[in-house]
A and B are shown apart, each in its own frame.
Chain A
Amino acid sequence: MSKTLRSNIITVGLVFIAYIGAQILIATGSISSLMKGLLVPLCVYAILAVSLNLTVGILGELSLGHAGFMCIGAFSSAFFSKCMKMFVPDMPGALRFFLALVIGAALAGLFGILIGIPVLRLKGDYLAIVTLAFGEIIKNIINILYLGIDEEGVHFSLKSSLDLNMADSEKIIINGAMGITGTPNDSNFTIGVVLLILTLIIVLNLIHSRDGRAIMSIRDNTIAAESVGIPVTRYKLMAFSISAALAGVAGVLYAHNLSTLTALPKNFGYNMSIMILVFVVLGGMGNIRGSMIAAVILTLLPELLRGVVSDYRMLIYAIILIVMMLFNWAPKCIEWRKKATASVKARLQKKSAAKEVE
């Protein structure tokens, strides 16, 4: 078995083990309802971290607008699901969710291409700032978007709900800053885990294929990649839009876990984008498994601390963040870790050698 295949199996296996563990905890009732409510968001954040790692770690471009793509996925899919619920009430939930998923991912991917075309001409800091701006634009437009459907057709406005001129205000679907209410709760923890595993498979298989190598070659040296005939623009766009589409998937999952979906700075603003970036940087740029684990730890940590030291929990959270960063990336720490693992390995070898002698 090749090294990469084994590593991929470990990554997917970890998710599976975590899933079983969580299910056992739920079944034995040793998990608080607060924690239970965190299970789907955990999957959402893990998917976001993995998908952003494709842009930041594999393509090597710093994107600060990832929450914007999640926002598109969330609102387009919630819009679809609510319409279906209103007009085709006897549609099975699973089918509705599946279609919503396809729509959310496709639309987020499409916006990834549209935004990627101008943005990917930039480099480094400039690219980061422009993606940040696009992320905010998406959130703010959705915040003033009014959309309704009745017998006369689709009503659309960017001013207020009254401008929709609808006879029946019950049929307003997206109500500006109040967002979408009454989205069917079609998602659950199991679906979240399945989507996370799908995301992992897509990203890992992409990385270890011909296209993934081309994307990484662009990251390492664009000029050299061009000189061996790699179509740079095409692969940059491809990585960016796949990353956006997967963020859209996370958005769909997020939207179908809530009954009220609003575009707040907290969930779709740059705070969120930076939070996802923290997962990726902490877990390791280009390290898919690491970013997933970082997402889980950093989401659970503030909640776990709530029970222990509620007053200082954000302070402790920040300290743990710094310590984790140092432990993972400070050169001295890396050196020390290498030494430690080497000595452990040597000791194990000695033991096994001693056994053989016996």
Chain B
Amino acid sequence: MAMLEVKNLDISFGGLRAVDDFNMTIEKGCLYGLIGPNGAGKTTVFNLLTGVYKPNKGIILLDGKDITGKKTIDVNREGIARTFQNIRLFKDLTVLDNVKVGLHNHNTYSTLTGILRLPKYHKVERQMNQKALDILKVFDLDKEADVLAANLPYGKQRKLEIARALATEPKLLLLDEPAAGMNPNETQELMDTIGFVRKHFDMTILLIEHDMKLVSGICEELTVLNFGRVLCQGKTAEVLNNPEVIKAYLGE
């Protein structure tokens, strides 16, 4: 069964049809790319998938379960985690605490337990610290665990966002322009990390990207959006050689 199945998704803002009859199927374990020129509606698709916007029409199935129109919080609990185009970290919390917020729903104790510092508090907090450090190690951030997120260099902030998303134990990870603002070296490193995450966590990943080197390097399948409509869909190599796609990107 497909991990994500989107059928006839539709949303308009005022008179603008931002996303128009959008269909997409992502198999489990696939690394899928969503590309298109600026303003094509890529981030809108992300916002629809994560419940920030409610679609006017259409169905979203995650692992066979209908999650259409659910709230962002519930979508995350169902198993979709995301990062943001403009980084949204908890900047006044430490790197470790950022990841621990991601662990929130899977490691619980009551408010009273926390205030009274009952034994369960210490036990769960220890487990959370361990889990958080394990995730941070994957991203080579474990040495900066006590640094405030705002003080991290840009590339590491991007990584921390992915780490935080992974901490929510998702089935599907959405990355919104993970390589934006990175230099070629950092991009290469990020590609390796994404590949590692996919293998290590057995993750299905959908990413938006403009960096064609990254897209052609790691994505197996692509959907190209243009003016809210699907222009082309299929294997990466085929899609990138499609004359329609080249036209949309480079003009006639």
Q: Using a CB–CB distance below 8 Å, which chain A residues touch chain B?
A: 201-202, 205-206, 209-214, 216-217, 219-221, 223-232, 238, 286
| B76 CB within 8 Å of chain A | yes
| B121 CB within 8 Å of chain A | yes
- Asked whether, in the complex, the Cβ of B115 is within 8 Å of the Cβ of A210, the reply is no
Considering only CB atoms, which chain A residue lies closest to B115 in the complex? A205
Most buried by A among B82, B114, B121: B114
Most buried by B among A211, A228, A286: A228
Known: A209-B115, A223-B52. 8 other contacts (CB 8 A): A209-B121, A213-B97, A219-B92, A221-B88, A227-B50, A227-B76, A228-B167, A229-B76
**Nearest CB of B to A121, in Å:** 15
Q: Given A213-B97, A229-B104 in contact, is the A220-B77 Cβ separation under 8 Å?
A: no
Range of interface residues on B (Cβ < 8 Å): 35 or more
A residues in contact with B50, CB < 8 Å? 227
The 8 Å CB contact of A223, one of B88, B117, B125, is B88
Considering only CB atoms, which chain B residue lies closest to A205 in the complex? B115
In the complex, what distance in Å separates the CA atom of A209 from the CA atom of B124? 10
Q: Using a CB–CB distance below 8 Å, which chain B residues touch chain A?
A: 50, 52, 71-73, 76-77, 81-82, 84, 88-93, 97, 100-102, 104-105, 107-109, 111, 114-117, 121, 124-125, 128, 164-165, 167-168
In the complex, what distance in Å separates the CA atom of A194 from the CA atom of B241? 74
Considering only CB atoms, which chain A residue lies closest to B116 in the complex? A205
- Asked whether, in the complex, the Cβ of A221 is within 8 Å of the Cβ of B81, the reply is no
- Asked whether, in the complex, the Cβ of B105 is within 8 Å of the Cβ of A216, the reply is no
The 8 Å CB contact of A238, one of B101, B105, B111, is B111
In the complex, what distance in Å separates the CA atom of A220 from the CA atom of B167? 18
**Nearest CB of B to A288, in Å:** 14
- Asked whether, in the complex, the Cβ of A217 is within 8 Å of the Cβ of B115, the reply is no
Considering only CB atoms, which chain A residue lies closest to B51 in the complex? A226
- Asked whether, in the complex, the Cβ of B101 is within 8 Å of the Cβ of A214, the reply is yes
Lowest 3 A-B CB distances belong to which pairs? A209-B114, A229-B76, A224-B88
- Asked whether, in the complex, the Cβ of A217 is within 8 Å of the Cβ of B101, the reply is yes
B residues in contact with A232, CB < 8 Å? 73
**Nearest CB of B to A50, in Å:** 14
B residues in contact with A228, CB < 8 Å? 76, 81, 101-102, 104, 164-165, 167-168
- Asked whether, in the complex, the Cβ of A224 is within 8 Å of the Cβ of B90, the reply is yes
- Asked whether, in the complex, the Cβ of B77 is within 8 Å of the Cβ of A229, the reply is yes
- Asked whether, in the complex, the Cβ of A206 is within 8 Å of the Cβ of B164, the reply is no
The 8 Å CB contact of A230, one of B91, B104, B116, is B104
Considering only CB atoms, which chain B residue lies closest to A286 in the complex? B92
Q: Given A209-B114, A209-B121, A224-B84 in contact, is the A230-B90 Cβ separation under 8 Å?
A: no
- Asked whether, in the complex, the Cβ of A206 is within 8 Å of the Cβ of B88, the reply is no
The 8 Å CB contact of B114, one of A212, A216, A226, A229, is A212
Most buried by B among A217, A224, A232, A286: A224
**Nearest CB of A to B245, in Å:** 30
Most buried by A among B50, B111, B165, B168: B111
